[in-house]
A and B are shown apart, each in its own frame.
Chain A
């Protein structure tokens, strides 16, 4: 089955700095790669996703890049703000894999 590794597990940055979280996956048939943000005590919510027919996608301060050859994808947050503090999860699904496989999460702390 699919295996998703996520790094780092914790990340602390100063407000205004950039943050990068990386995930690797094992199943070359996977073709959908979402990122979810979970604030403390809340449910996870999708913030951005990418499909295997594109290499990069941006939405304001957030971007995701995908390298299908190397089987890894990354979340980039620029000009971080305290409200970006949360746990971020990557996931992969597609091919014969009906269900998403999640990474273990990254706790991002943005210090004012």
Chain B
């Protein structure tokens, strides 16, 4: 099993450009999440999904959009990139809390720089 994979691993954008980050998981997890990690700020939740076709806002959703058309994929879009979106982006997946736990399985991360 590949677990959680992310594409791309690195990307440099110019201000105003758009891009999509792809997350894929092969563990049949119901929930998927997008986080950003900045120095000293920990992990901040951008958006999450509790099932195919559903999405919800997290702590820092502005400037991002997401879609979950298939259970195994969760896409994060930046419509007009800004330097403040320079960060490391982690995707994660988990089982639903119906099991009593939602251990996060993280992808390897995408390092995004916006110039």
B-binding residues in A (CB < 8 A): 31-32, 34, 36, 43-46, 49, 51, 89, 91, 93-94, 97-100, 102-105
Contacts and interface: CB of A to CB of B under 8 A. Distances in A.
A34 B40 CA distance: 20
Contacts of A89: 42-43
A43 B96 CA distance: 21
Contact of A46 (B33, B97, B104): B104
Interface residues of B, number: 22
A97 B93 CA distance: 15
Interface stretch (B12-20, B21-29, B69-77, B106-114): B106-114
A91 B35 CA distance: 14
Contacts of B40: 104
A31 to B, nearest CB: 7
19 contacts: A32-B101, A36-B104, A43-B90, A43-B106, A43-B107, A43-B108, A43-B109, A44-B106, A46-B103, A49-B101, A51-B101, A89-B42, A97-B97, A98-B50, A98-B97, A99-B31, A99-B48, A99-B102, A102-B42
Nearest to B96: A98
B75 to A, nearest CB: 18
A45 B42 contact: no
A32 B98 CA distance: 12
Interface of B: 31, 33, 40-43, 45, 48, 50, 58, 90, 96-97, 100-104, 106-109
B40 to A, nearest CB: 8
Contact of B97 (A34, A45, A94, A105): A94
Contacts of A44: 43, 90, 104, 106
B101 A102 contact: no
B7 to A, nearest CB: 15
Nearest to B43: A102
Given A43-B107, A43-B108, A99-B48, A104 B42 contact: yes
